[in-house]
Structure 1
Amino acid sequence: MRMWKKRFALPLFLLVLAALFWNSGWMAWVYPIGYKEDIREQSESYDIDPFLIASIIRVETNFKPSKESKVGALGIMQLMPDTANWAIEQGRLPQATPERIKHEPDTNIRIGTWYLRNLSDQFGDNRLAVVAAYNAGPGNVKKWIREGTWDGTLEDVRSIPIGETRHYIQRVVYYYNQYTKVYETF
């Protein structure tokens, strides 16, 4: 009788513990989303999936503000200054200095989400093309699709001639899938 208790007590305990963790939302600790209110607000303003915005931010800076890349991309969504200025002008967004773009997450998220809306308008329902264009520029992505270099699918992502963009798409898709599993709603 004593041997039976030892054999089944630990697995039963682990099973109960796993059930408690699974139902408690503990995965949100592993996949946190920062700046939820800013993301939610801009998501609604520009009709962009908030999980997509969060996934891009996670890949770009892991929600750490005030970042500047080696090539000069600024802020939480890593906007190139020329792209940010173009978006501000085209989207009639409030003027923002490079310092504000870099250090103010709400400003950066507003401009970055407007840019995602613009890319979505260019690429329609092809969310992967939008993600690729966010990283490599819309001109490159249009060229790859037009010339048949890449068909715009995840299955053909290895055909993208820029390794950074291939990896970028895979990482954004990974975090998007994790976020949509962990969080029922945004």
Structure 2
Amino acid sequence: MRWLRKKRVLLLLFISFVALLFLSSNWMVLLYPIHYKDEIRKHAVHYEVDPFLVASIIKVETNFKTGKESKKGALGIMQLMPDTANWAMDMAKLPAVTLQHVRNEADANIQLGTWYIQKLHQEMDGNPIAAIAAYNAGPGNVKNWINKDMWDGTYDNVKSIPIGETRHYVQRVIYYYNQYTDLYKDGF
């Protein structure tokens, strides 16, 4: 009898929790949190990049975990390749930032990654979808695909991207971008 009573109490608690979760106006925020909001906001404003795009790239790259290094050698929360990071540090005139900072410090990595997104956006003639693809595959590849009419640079034709990893990457970034813009429409 006592065992049955415990189960009823647990069931009641579970139902109450689920009801509270669904009745709360922002329950989905629990499923799609954005970490490092201050850093993202600061650098997005400075470099004139959509903060939701920065957050979406971070979500796809590392799920907001610092100190990551990919099998290919990409560093930090925004997974910048060392050569790209060194080039970006020179171009963005950030002499105080080192590869160690890029690997382990979210703020430095977000600053550099956001600068790089802005640069890619300019290189892709303001096309945000092409800039996302270029973040993954490199701007040379994306320009080549567009110039050779392999892909038109739009999300509608993302299935034409010749590299499956990049195609999937763009789809995931846009998925999280849509989730974030919907959930955090009043800002973050």
| TM-score, normalised by the number of residues in structure 2 | 0.86
Residue aligning to 1:97: 98
Residue aligning to 1:181: 182
Does 2:62 correspond to 1:66?
no
* In 1: Cα distance, 2:26 partner to 2:134 partner: 33
* In 1: Cα distance, 2:28 partner to 2:125 partner: 32
Residue aligning to 1:8: none
Residue aligning to 1:44: 45
* In 2: Cα distance, 1:83 partner to 1:135 partner: 12
Deviation of 1:89 (Å): 0.5
Shifted more, 67-76 versus 24-33: the winner is 24-33
* In 2: Cα distance, 1:79 partner to 1:88 partner: 11
Instruction: Indicate the percent of aligned positions where both proteins have the same amino acid.
Output: 59
Q: Relative contact order (C-alpha < 8 Å, sep 6+): which is higher? A: 1
- Displaced runs of 4 or more, over 4 A: none
Q: Which amino acid aligns with 1:149?
A: M
* In 1: Cα distance, 2:63 partner to 2:75 partner: 14
Does 2:120 correspond to 1:132?
no
Q: Which amino acid aligns with 2:161?
A: I
Deviation of 1:44 (Å): 0.4
Deviation of 1:169 (Å): 0.2
Compared CA separation, residues 152 and 24, structure 1 to 2 (3 A)? same
Q: Which amino acid aligns with 2:164?
A: G
Deviation of 1:125 (Å): 2.8
Please tell me whether the aligned partners of residues 43 and 111 of structure 2 are also in contact (alpha carbons under 8 angstroms).
Answer: yes
1:26-60 Cα offsets, whole Å, 9 max, x none, are: 11100000000000000000000000000000000
**Matched positions, count:** 171
* In 1: Cα distance, 2:175 partner to 2:95 partner: 33
* In 2: Cα distance, 1:154 partner to 1:63 partner: 25
Deviation of 1:22 (Å): 5.3
Deviation of 1:123 (Å): 1.3
1:99-119 Cα offsets, whole Å, 9 max, x none, are: 211100000000000001101
* In 1: Cα distance, 2:95 partner to 2:50 partner: 23
1:139-168 Cα offsets, whole Å, 9 max, x none, are: 000000001000011121111111100000
Residue aligning to 1:24: 25
